[in-house]
Structure 1
Amino acid sequence: MELSLSSIQVLVKEIKEEMFSNIDPYSFVSPSAYDTAWLAMVPDPQEPGQPMFKGCLDWVLNNQREEGFWGECDGHGMPTIESLPATLACVVALKKWNVGTKEVQRGLEFVDENTAKLLGDDHFPRWFAIIFPGMIDLVREVGLELAFPKQLGLSTNIFGERQSILEREELVGEQYPPLLSYLEVLKPADDNLIKESLTKHLSFDGSLFHSPAATARAFMATGERECLAYLQTLVQRCPNGVPPTYPMDEDLIQLCMVNQLQRLGLADHFTQEIDHILAHIHRSYYNQESKGGSRSAIATRLHKDSLAFRLLRMHGYTVSPRSFCWFSNDEKVQDHIEKNFEFFSSVMLNIHRATDLIFPGEYELEKARSFSRKLLEKYVSVGNGERSFLKTMIKHELSVPWIARLDHLEHRMWVEDKDMNAFWAGKTSFHRLPSFRNEKLKKLAAKDYEFRQSIYRTELEELTRWSRKWGLVNLGFAREKTTYCYFAIAACISLPYNSALRMMVAKSAILITIADDFFDSHGSLHDLNTLISAIQRWDGKSLNGHCKTIFDVLDDLVKEIAAKHLHSQGSDITNHLQHLWYETFVSWLVEAQWSRSQCVPSMEEYLEIGMTSIAAHTLVLPISCFLTPSIPDHTLQPNQYETLTKLLMLITRLLNDIQSYQKEEEQGKLNTVLLYLKENPEADIEDSIAYVKGMLETKKKELLQHTFIDGFSDLPKHCKQLHLSCLKVFAMFFHSSNRYDKEDTKMLKDIQQAIYSPLHVGRTSKVLTKKPVASYSGSKEHRIINYEFGQHSKYHSRRVIARLFSPISRRGCDILFMQPKFKLSLV
């Protein structure tokens, strides 16, 4: 374990030095092979037989991938659909200057052999339908030939889709990005049309929609000096391959890096770096009002504004919803987004995430959330395969609220996501984190996740032994939730690697479950009163049976927590803990008395008891005493709970009641849903649930405000975050059903993913451009196949390799990977 921790610390140090030591922000975004190739095509006006930007041509020559393509890979190191036009652009650039003959051939082979595999279905993204046919035409113009259109019959579909787009759209119409931004692959009737378009749409910096490729084509057609100045500035700023957009917003790049660290679960390793970046961002966003600007920049601006809002608000900064909700009051902008909803899907996802953090009275955010959700649902319903990873993320966002998602599992999802290195959408590709940076971050994230898993497995084993030692596993009357309790706490509450606090909370949750069940269904009123009296005196000598077991576990737990607090903090909180638990047990007794006497309390009376009996505060407050800074001891007293704690108690009670009313009605118990029906005879069950959900949403917004804004709560920041984590655990258990009471298949899978299952972050073999070379030796009974597949053989799965040797695989084979060779052993 120490070795793993040491390797994590070494990686963290390396990344800090390489990524956060006055590094050029442009180095965080991969060069665009497509755009760099277009600059490589530009001839020198003084020497037309030579490239103007030889550095770009050299970049193309030196940056072909081993598999034969150009362009950035996805987060798992595999080529994407974006690599197809990028590869053709590079092939054309090399052919134009008669260099790189071998590279040209390998690039054409890659496109021929992988186009169908990468496209996947008959739907082509708009940008691809415009760009790819244009590049095919250009390849043919320079005297090269592609085999795949003839072999696969894709040519008609792709060219037909392109023609439909060209007939339907204007050069600068409502579509985004506009057709004119794809000037490099369009065929205007003459250069006058290009000059006319440039006069109207050339940006102040000399670019055409900030697109290096389109601007390069415009310069080649017109010789426009402003375009030349833009291209020269671009190459001077980015000599090692140009980005897909220039200039780029450097603040947006930094925000994307912070977002990347958070979603990979690495934020705790880079707190100072994140704080520094967000402090800078906040200064530029201070008192920010609605923004103007060109329509062509809407997507990028909204992406940045919504991302900044979410990150700043989550880190305690005061930011106004106007900083990104400016679009919701502009009907033209909204209409533009709706008409281009597919392109804006990733932007709408960002906006929807930002609106997770709504405070009371923020109607602008409500409006933005409704708008973004409508378009996301529309995007998901459209039967296309474009950016399927994005569709998966959107479905996840729409189906499971942020408040009901556990951080540890969210981190796993991002680490395993094949497009984990994608930042924001551009004209023909995503702006991506470069491979060499992505690999280090991915490696650190994987190590961190699996290191935590190893700790969680050890702690869960220890917790299980504790439950067995006290006889809590087979009591007969109680739900056995040792694994559930530990999983929820470990997967949601961000605590150091080796944390005794996780065990304290988990033990408390197990005891709460057992004691609550005892009061609900098993103990007689005499037993319950006897146990309460013992807890009041804190003396269990006269107890026996289950009462004694419960008291002894409680007594041992309180002593353990108090002793650790005395050792670490220097004060004795034994009495405070005893009073806290006594209050909780009394609330269970009151509910038991109500149930057995058929008493119907008022809603106010019920909530006063129910807020305590849900026991969320019993979990959160003791552990808060160990945080730095810790809460004052007196905040453990019932009459001195902070508003944030009371909100947590109420919300968790309402979450439970919405999903448990049917079971509790069968048991003769009452809760808020059933009490509302009794107090409002004209209402039906849907009305009652809607009423409770409305109350829940209102209080949830208040809790978020108290959590994220200073001045609403005197509790320290880490304690407030702990309250939020506790709420997320309850929301996870009671989001769509009562997952805590039943054996939930999805829950069991989540537990496996969080604690046991290894990460899946290796390359999957989507493309295979090299032909295997095999030799055979040995008898028919035991034949050895020596199979060589070059340096990338480790990336090909057993199933894929077996399929390569289909006659052999039908007989069965055991594949032993040996780098760079491995053997197929037939037994």
Structure 2
Amino acid sequence: MFGKVQLSPSSYDTAWVAMVPSRGALKEPMFPESVDWIMQNQHPNGSWGLNPSHPLLVKDSLSSTLACLLALQKWKVGEQLVQKGLDFIGSNRLYVNEKNQPSPIGFDIVFPGMVSKAIELGLNLPLDTASVDKMLSNAEQKVKSNSNALSLPKAVSGTKVILHMLLKHLVKLIVGRRCWQQRNEEIFLDVTCCASAFQLLRMHGYEVGSDALAEFIDEEHFFSTVGMQYTNTSTILELYKASQVRIFQREPILEKIHGWTRNFLKSELLNRAIYDERLRNEVEYALEYSIHNVDRVENRRSINLYDVDKFAMLKTSHRWVKDTRMDQLELDWHALYSSHFMVASVHFSPELSDARIAWSKISVIGTILDDMFDIDGPREELLNIIELVEKWDEYSSVGYNSERNKIVFSALYDTINDDLAPKAFAKQGRLTCTSVHVQNLEMIKCMLKEVEWWTENLAPGIDEYIFNGTDTVGCGIYSTVYFFLGPELSENVLSSEEYANLYYYVGRVVRPLNDYRSDERESIQRKLNLCSLLVNQSNGSLAEEDARDEVRKIIEYSRREVLRMMLQTHGSLVPKAVKESIWKLSKLCHYLYARGDEFRTPGSGKDDINIVFYEPINLSQRPSKNSLMHDNHEKASRVLEFM
């Protein structure tokens, strides 16, 4: 059924997998390779885990070691390994109840649960009775008060600990879906677990219906249902998160759950009823950034919630800005930071360095071009840059009518042909510079069209305006990233109906979002904007606020379509990595335009750039905000090769 299983390198996770019994023979492991891996990967000091000698990872090693011991003891193998593991726990037993020692998430609940399981299996743990009693008592109190149960279902129960880990780590192996389809009581009797499972399964592409959450549709019924357990703030939060994974245009169950859970959480915050600071921060973040979030920022904020110590981040100097002479232009340095922050926030894996650098460079040039067409470019200069890009390799036959055009075109030409094309060829096995060149040409032609609409007082149709604006806000040139994500991206894929639909709907997210937030400013400038266009074309029947409501509907409808297509697996031609990148672009734009224009005039976004790129995770080592970002060319160029 599962074929060859790719094992996780995490000893802790592998131990939980190793404990799963075979369906046909409960006295045998379902994944014997996991048991073999445990037996072959014990450290010389008897522990399992990341780094047993690291002073900040002692509790992590204790958790990993005890989990591996449970697996070996369960199947009655590795007697000598078990004894060495017990010796390691004994030599580090004082750290178990040490409050100042950094802990993995949920350690105070999960570790006592594993201790109970170890006693049940007959393991002679080298822990004194008083320590065990204290540990179990503390765990029970934490579960009751919900002070450390932000993401764990009733974790003291060994069975549910196993289930939670299986849902998290085996969802791609269909175990989670199998349990869901069989309505496994361990999932459906625990609201938190059920909501988490729904999120995980949907976001991994499994077609699970929202009807499984129907019993949670009504707030009053939810709290009064007999046998409903663990109905606290963290449970409501998980239901709220589950209600966000709406991929169809009509999902009344999720919409109603979203309504009452959101109101409940807002009320809890307003009434100061959430006493646990971490949970309160998580609720605040979930409500404020329900849609407009990006993975990198969300991950970084999660690190802050759990007081994880810092890891070094590497930056190397890069001279691209000066090499292309763009430092001689009136470059918007905020845009330089924002460009790299955008792509680094969604494509942050080390192996995607080329993707980050490619998008940063193309985006910076695109921003300069946008300023030329939007603010101060003489028409002759605009037509000249278009002709240069059209001729491309024969640009010398055109010539430059300004030094700025020479700098901008040379930067674009050299970056695509000499920098990005060789790297993309190594990954794709074919030349891709033509595709990137065409996307940039389309972008500036669409920019010129907007200039003509504006200067000649023309009113395009709504669909024409949005589709044209899809290119002017950079959706087209963002596709540069796709060539560096790993999967082969053939011309057949790029010309497919599926890819066209993804591009269409993400454009109907990005362009309207941009217009929604710039409506007031552009109205003063008497520039075209989707909101004002809707009002004007309604012949007075649509008020300004009604037009803004219509724009919000377009955005939400299109966002769901992008999410649905991203999760679609049957008959999909576009590689999943590309679809995920398009979905992340949608999320990123919600983030950028949540309150204003974070790309051009970063507000809270400036703080996010600081915490992602510069600010140490260890709060005691934070530099002052004033020392983090300086408007100088040296630092701006360094950010382009943030790894």
User: TM-score scaled by structure 1?
Assistant: 0.56
Check if 1:409 corresponds to 2:297: yes
Secondary structure in structure 1 of the residue aligned to 2:246: coil
Check if 1:573 corresponds to 2:432: yes
**Contact 1:535–1:551 (8 Å) recurs in 2:** yes
User: What corresponds to 1:346 in structure 2?
Assistant: 234
Q: 1:253 to 1:336 in 2, by over 3 A?
A: same
Of 530, 540, 561, which aligns to 2:395?
Answer: 540
1:649-664 to structure 2, matched below 5 A, reads 649-664=507-522
Q: 1:351 to 1:316 in 2, by over 3 A?
A: same
User: What corresponds to 2:163 in structure 1?
Assistant: 251
Q: Cα deviation per residue 1:362-384 (whole Å; 9 max; x = unaligned)? A: 22111111121122112222224
- Distance in 2 between the 1:311 and 1:731 partners? 22
Q: Cα deviation per residue 1:159-204 (whole Å; 9 max; x = unaligned)? A: xxxxxxxxxxxxxxxxxxxxxxxxxxxxxxxxxxxxxxxxxxxxxx
Of 6, 15, 26, which aligns to 2:11?
Answer: 15
Secondary structure in structure 1 of the residue aligned to 2:160: coil
Structure 1 runs not aligned, ≥5 long: 1-11, 31-61, 84-98, 116-123, 130-209, 212-242, 259-272, 420-441, 765-796, 798-827
**CA-CA distance at 1:625 after TM superposition:** 2.8
**CA-CA distance at 1:701 after TM superposition:** 0.6
Q: What letter corresponds to residue 222 of structure 2 in structure 1?
A: V
Q: 486-495 or 668-677: which moved more?
A: 486-495
Check if 1:357 corresponds to 2:357: no
Secondary structure in structure 1 of the residue aligned to 2:481: helix
**CA-CA distance at 1:734 after TM superposition:** 0.8
Check if 1:283 corresponds to 2:178: yes
**CA-CA distance at 1:477 after TM superposition:** 6.8
- Distance in 2 between the 1:348 and 1:514 partners? 46
- Distance in 1 between the 2:177 and 2:110 partners? 34
Q: Cα deviation per residue 1:285-336 (whole Å; 9 max; x = unaligned)? A: 23x67x9x8xxx9996211111111111111111111233332269633545
User: What corresponds to 2:358 in structure 1?
Assistant: 504
- Distance in 2 between the 1:575 and 1:77 partners? 48
Q: Cα deviation per residue 1:229-270 (whole Å; 9 max; x = unaligned)? A: xxxxxxxxxxxxxx7346536323423x54xxxxxxxxxxxx
**Contact 1:705–1:712 (8 Å) recurs in 2:** no
**CA-CA distance at 1:720 after TM superposition:** 0.4
**CA-CA distance at 1:605 after TM superposition:** 2.7
**CA-CA distance at 1:341 after TM superposition:** 11
**Contact 1:652–1:730 (8 Å) recurs in 2:** yes
Secondary structure in structure 2 of the residue aligned to 1:625: helix
**CA-CA distance at 1:404 after TM superposition:** 1.9
Q: Cα deviation per residue 1:113-135 (whole Å; 9 max; x = unaligned)? A: xx9xxxxxxxx999569xxxxxx
- Distance in 2 between the 1:374 and 1:572 partners? 53
Q: 1:557 to 1:341 in 2, by over 3 A?
A: farther
Q: What letter corresponds to residue 557 of structure 2 in structure 1?
A: T
User: What corresponds to 2:306 in structure 1?
Assistant: 418
Secondary structure in structure 2 of the residue aligned to 1:529: helix
Q: What letter corresponds to residue 450 of structure 2 in structure 1?
A: E
Q: 1:635 to 1:244 in 2, by over 3 A?
A: closer
Q: 1:299 to 1:392 in 2, by over 3 A?
A: farther
User: TM-score scaled by structure 2?
Assistant: 0.71
- Distance in 1 between the 2:612 and 2:145 partners? 38
**CA-CA distance at 1:497 after TM superposition:** 3.9
Secondary structure in structure 1 of the residue aligned to 2:327: coil
1:308-707 to structure 2, matched below 5 A, reads 308-328=197-217, 332-336=221-225, 343-359=231-247, 360-384=249-273, 386-401=275-290, 403-418=291-306, 447=311, 450=312, 453-454=313-314, 457-458=315-316, 461-462=317-318, 465-476=319-330, 480-497=334-351, 499-538=353-392, 539-541=394-396, 542-543=399-400, 544-559=402-417, 560-620=419-479, 622-636=480-494, 641-680=499-538, 681-707=540-566
**Contact 1:528–1:589 (8 Å) recurs in 2:** yes
Q: 1:537 to 1:498 in 2, by over 3 A?
A: closer
Q: What letter corresponds to residue 322 of structure 1 in structure 2?
A: D
**CA-CA distance at 1:494 after TM superposition:** 4.2
User: What corresponds to 1:749 in structure 2?
Assistant: 607
Q: Cα deviation per residue 1:454-477 (whole Å; 9 max; x = unaligned)? A: 1xx32xx42xx2123223235227
**CA-CA distance at 1:409 after TM superposition:** 2.3
Q: 1:712 to 1:742 in 2, by over 3 A?
A: farther
**Contact 2:187–2:194 (8 Å) recurs in 1:** no
Q: 1:74 to 1:652 in 2, by over 3 A?
A: same
**CA-CA distance at 1:556 after TM superposition:** 1.3
Aligned CA RMSD, in angstroms, stands at 4.5
- Distance in 1 between the 2:107 and 2:424 partners? 54
- Distance in 1 between the 2:105 and 2:257 partners? 35
Q: 1:635 to 1:553 in 2, by over 3 A?
A: farther
- Distance in 2 between the 1:739 and 1:552 partners? 28
Q: 1:528 to 1:69 in 2, by over 3 A?
A: closer
- Distance in 1 between the 2:537 and 2:512 partners? 17
1:90-129 to structure 2, matched below 5 A, reads 127=144
**Contact 2:467–2:504 (8 Å) recurs in 1:** no
Q: 1:639 to 1:579 in 2, by over 3 A?
A: farther
Q: 1:78 to 1:363 in 2, by over 3 A?
A: closer
- Distance in 1 between the 2:238 and 2:325 partners? 49
Of 281, 298, 301, which aligns to 2:190?
Answer: 301
- Distance in 2 between the 1:346 and 1:340 partners? 14
- Distance in 2 between the 1:22 and 1:715 partners? 35
Q: 1:21 to 1:697 in 2, by over 3 A?
A: closer
Q: 1:478 to 1:640 in 2, by over 3 A?
A: farther
- Distance in 2 between the 1:312 and 1:520 partners? 44
**CA-CA distance at 1:414 after TM superposition:** 2.3
Structure 2 runs not aligned, ≥5 long: 1-7, 22-47, 50-58, 61-89, 112-126, 147-152, 623-643
- Distance in 2 between the 1:683 and 1:757 partners? 47
**Contact 2:171–2:204 (8 Å) recurs in 1:** no
**Contact 1:355–1:366 (8 Å) recurs in 2:** yes
**Alignment size in residue pairs:** 526
User: What corresponds to 1:708 in structure 2?
Assistant: 567
- Distance in 1 between the 2:171 and 2:145 partners? 36
**CA-CA distance at 1:631 after TM superposition:** 2.0
**CA-CA distance at 1:70 after TM superposition:** 8.8
Identity level (%)? 20
Q: What letter corresponds to residue 513 of structure 1 in structure 2?
A: T
**Contact 2:334–2:601 (8 Å) recurs in 1:** no
Secondary structure in structure 2 of the residue aligned to 1:715: coil
Q: 1:639 to 1:670 in 2, by over 3 A?
A: farther
**Contact 1:615–1:649 (8 Å) recurs in 2:** no
**CA-CA distance at 1:415 after TM superposition:** 2.7
- Distance in 1 between the 2:475 and 2:244 partners? 22
- Distance in 2 between the 1:736 and 1:742 partners? 11
**Contact 1:467–1:482 (8 Å) recurs in 2:** no
